[in-house]
Amino acid sequence: MMAEPDNDNNLEGPMIFIIIGKAYEKKGGEGIDLHVMLRAPDDDSAVRAALNALTEEGFLEADLDQIGVLTDIPNEEPHASAYQGALEGEVAIIRFQ
């Protein structure tokens, strides 16, 4: 995965995205609120990687509502661990049930 952004963003560190949405494990089932954190060169790549990770976790559908780049390191769990995982190249999925 690219380490440098391919757009005009000039962050000092890597671009760690947070995507907020809801995913569904069953067709017509109740959605699960979630946050996805990952490292990506741009928002299109971040959305694609998030959707692929959700599919691998068994989700059939997802409604992704917001996307942003984290400018500070989170210091509260579970986001702090997810951030560290994203720095290491993982796609972290935080479920809220």
* 85: phi then psi, degrees, rounded to nearest 5: -60, -40
Q: Helix, strand or coil for residue 73?
A: coil
Per-residue pLDDT band for 6 (boundaries 50, 70, 90) equals low
Task: Round to whole Å and give the CA distance between 32 and 21.
Answer: 8
**Predicted local distance difference test score (pLDDT) of residue 1:** 40
Counting Cα atoms < 13 Å in the Cβ hemisphere of 43 gives 11
The tens digit of pLDDT for each residue in 34-67 reads 999 999 999 999 999 999 999 999 999 999 999 9
Which residues neighbour 28 within 8 Å (Cβ) at sequence distance 6 or greater? none
The domain made up of 16-96 is a member of CATH 3.20.20: no
Q: Where are the domains of the chain?
A: 16-96
8 A C-beta contact, residue 94 and residue 78: yes
Q: Helix, strand or coil for residue 63?
A: strand
Please state the pTM of the whole predicted model.
0.85
The tens digit of pLDDT for each residue in 69-79 reads 999 999 999 99
